Amino acid sequence: MYCIKKVTDDLVWVGANDRRLALFEGVYSVPAGVSYNSYLLTDEKTVLFDTVDKAVRQRFLENVEVALKGRKLDYLVVQHVEPDHSAVIPELIRQHPEIKIVCSARVLEFIKQFYDFDIDSRVHMVEENDTLKTGKHTLHFVMAPMVHWPEVMMTYDSTAKILFSADAFGCFGALNGALFADEVDFAKDYMDETRRYYSNIVGKYGTQVESVLDKASALNIEMICPLHGFVWRSNLNEIVSKYMLWSKYEPEERGVMIAYASVYGNTENAAEILACRLRDKGIKTVIFDVSVTPSSEIVSAAFKWSHLVFASTTYNAGIFVTMEALIHDLAAHNIQNRRVAIIENGSWAATSGGLIREILGKCERIDILEKNVSILSGLKKAQLSDIESMVEAIGADFPAPAGAAAQNNQSVPNTVDPNTMFKLSYGLYVLTARDDNKDNGCIINTVMQITVTPVKITIAVNKANYTHDMILKTKKFNISVLSEGVPFRIFQQFGFKSGKDTDKFAGSKEALRTENGVRYLSEWTNGVISGEVKETVDCGTHMLFVAEVNQAFSLSSEPSVTYQYYFDNIKPKPQPPKGNKKGFVCKICGYVHEGDTLPDDFICPLCKHGAGDFERLA
């Protein structure tokens, strides 16, 4: 029986899941299975994006037939020839001999290497920036070599603003009924598997991933459809920002990953003591026994953490086997930009440390502590000072927080540090009002309940906002409480423009209003509160409105977005300039305007902030 999922009105997921696969690519354990995604676009022409692994061919072929609804299949876009996405092409062609295969020269070459069917008579060759009009939709082809094979190509549908991203942005794990990343708790349940997928599958090719991210940044992308894992239709920055870090080999977390190989527990003992001492200093630690934890998980952790410690016994005058495999694996995956420390053990000749140093020393931007901790069979009390020295050396990279300084009676500055204000927890809200049939709204971050009977809240609104003027006049407003899935464009729509000269609701499909006649947001909002102003307090730049709540209802259980979450996951990160570019970078969103001068009236095309928010590239 078929099993398909709607992606958009004319795009259908026709892929399938495999939960019986023991090892993906024969190497990587996939305890939660894996999905093979394929998508069918039904425009004036029908277009299939890739096929699936042979393990799920039957379900896939049935899915395609059902989604086609009796139409012929006009095009198959082949973006990646690795057999987990191409294995069913020969059979698909037997069923649809009319098909045209859309591919690059490199894809064609690889198809011929893997398969024997007649492709030359049905090939539609494309190159970088070529387009294919399928009716309403226009497809643009973007070459993405080494992400993760040399022939890989991505496709951008400029009509639907969808990027078909091949392996990029994929993850391990079957889709358990959900198709979209925002249907699951992605950060909690899938980010680790996304990192493991990235680091092991494309981790070696950071430069090439950066190049694809550069190309993608020029496109207006509202949805990402990868070949494995979930479709991204909201909060794309959650995954894109991770790729930006991983591709540059920047750690995600400051802390120490300790991996040990121990035969009789003595090397493990040294690793445990080190971890305890680091924790005493407030430094985060994770520990892996490399004989127990699969290498792919430790490679993934090495991409996550800033500091790496390898503790290994010596075996046959070399590195212990499982540790040796791990070290080679890390080097093969191009691990870079980490601080490393080594503990070695040996009963008659401790050589493992020097050998680990030799392999990792060849990796780029790996800074290895000069002195290994060297153990003869088991750590002795007299050697605890060696562990302490290692803790001190690592700890020097982790300055004590201000609180710790205060506890240690160190002096703290008697000033007002504006950054401390960011420690306060805020939400983010769309504040809406209506005056003389004009609807308007802005973003605010201060809403607080102050009494229960009656329910009263306060909101603080910048007096420069048009919404402020409307509320001052009408006394009525709505708060739409934004939830974590909210895309950046909502902040652009309500936060980066003035309602005096813009209709902030232009293009919105439905005009939903509460009883007070004021509009509210139904999407990316988990609750709505209507307020009637009872008092005002003039606070200089801002007006504090004290209001009674006369309507309030919930719309979803998705967590509210916090100010911190917005900065970490939604707001685009400033892009560091490449090479010796001359120009100006927007301090708000990171957009780079190239050139020697920046006009005074320049407006950032991304976040709409003015020239005053730009600074010259260093």
Mark 123-162 with x for binding to ligand FEO (rule: CB under 6 A) and - for no binding.
Answer: -------------------------xx-------------
Told to check if 329 binds ligand FEO by CB under 6 A, we report no
Q: How far is the CB of 179 from ligand FEO (least distance, A)?
A: 17
| Residue with the CB atom nearest ligand FEO in the bound state | 82
Alpha-carbon dihedral of residues 384, 389, 394, 398, nearest 10 degrees?
Answer: 100
- Beta-carbon contacts of 16 under 8 Å, excluding residues fewer than 6 positions away, are 3, 35, 36, 52, 56, 59, 60, 63
Segment lying near ligand FEO (by CB under 6 A), choices 79-87, 187-195, 260-268, 298-306: 79-87
Told to check if 84 binds ligand FEO by CB under 6 A, we report yes
Told to check if 82 binds ligand FEO by CB under 6 A, we report yes
Told to check if 227 binds ligand FEO by CB under 6 A, we report yes
**Judged by CB, which is closer to ligand FEO: 52, or 216?**
52
Looking at residues 166 to 205 of the shown chain, list those that interact with ligand FEO (rule: CB under 6 A).
167
In the structure encoding, which two tokens stand for residue 598, read together?
């920046």
Q: How far is the CB of 29 from ligand FEO (least distance, A)?
A: 16
367 closest CA partner among 337, 342, 387, 344 = 337
Contact 78, 115 (CB under 8 A): no
Interface residue with ligand FEO among 80, 233, 242, 339 (CB under 6 A) is 80
Cα 329 from Cα 364, distance rounded (Å): 15
Q: How far is the CB of 90 from ligand FEO (least distance, A)?
A: 18
Told to check if 21 binds ligand FEO by CB under 6 A, we report no
**Judged by CB, which is closer to ligand FEO: 149, or 190?**
149
Mapped onto helix, strand or coil, the DSSP state of residue 353 is: helix
Q: How far is the CB of 282 from ligand FEO (least distance, A)?
A: 40
**Judged by CB, which is closer to ligand FEO: 110, or 149?**
149
Interface residue with ligand FEO among 5, 137, 195, 228 (CB under 6 A) is 228
Q: How far is the CB of 152 from ligand FEO (least distance, A)?
A: 8
Give the Å distances, CA to CA, from 56 to 35, 165, 311, 387. 10, 21, 42, 52
Told to check if 238 binds ligand FEO by CB under 6 A, we report no
The torsion angles phi and psi of 19, rounded to 5 degrees, stand at: -105, 5
Q: Give the count of residues interacting with ligand FEO (CB under 6 A).
A: 9
Query: CB pairs under 8 A, 24+ apart, for 205-209?
Result: 205/146, 205/147, 205/148, 205/334, 206/246, 206/247, 206/248, 206/249, 206/334, 206/336, 207/247, 208/144, 208/145, 208/146, 208/147, 209/147, 209/168, 209/243, 209/246, 209/247
Segment lying near ligand FEO (by CB under 6 A), choices 78-86, 172-180, 370-378, 530-538: 78-86
Cα 318 from Cα 57, distance rounded (Å): 46
Residue count (the chain):
618
In sequence order, what are the beta bridge partners of 319? 314
Segment lying near ligand FEO (by CB under 6 A), choices 82-90, 121-129, 232-240, 302-310: 82-90
A 10 A CB-CB count for 253 gives 13
Q: How far is the CB of 91 from ligand FEO (least distance, A)?
A: 19
Q: How far is the CB of 80 from ligand FEO (least distance, A)?
A: 6
What secondary structure does DSSP assign to 151-184, as a single string? T-EEEEETTTTEEE-TTTT--SB---S--BGGGS
Cα 160 from Cα 137, distance rounded (Å): 7
Q: How far is the CB of 149 from ligand FEO (least distance, A)?
A: 6
**Judged by CB, which is closer to ligand FEO: 202, or 350?**
202
Segment lying near ligand FEO (by CB under 6 A), choices 81-89, 93-101, 411-419, 583-591: 81-89
Q: Is the dihedral of CA 102, 107, 109, 114 positive or negative?
A: negative
Q: How far is the CB of 76 from ligand FEO (least distance, A)?
A: 16
Q: Which amino acid is at 134?
A: T
Residues that bind ligand FEO (CB under 6 A): 80, 82, 84-85, 148-149, 167, 227-228
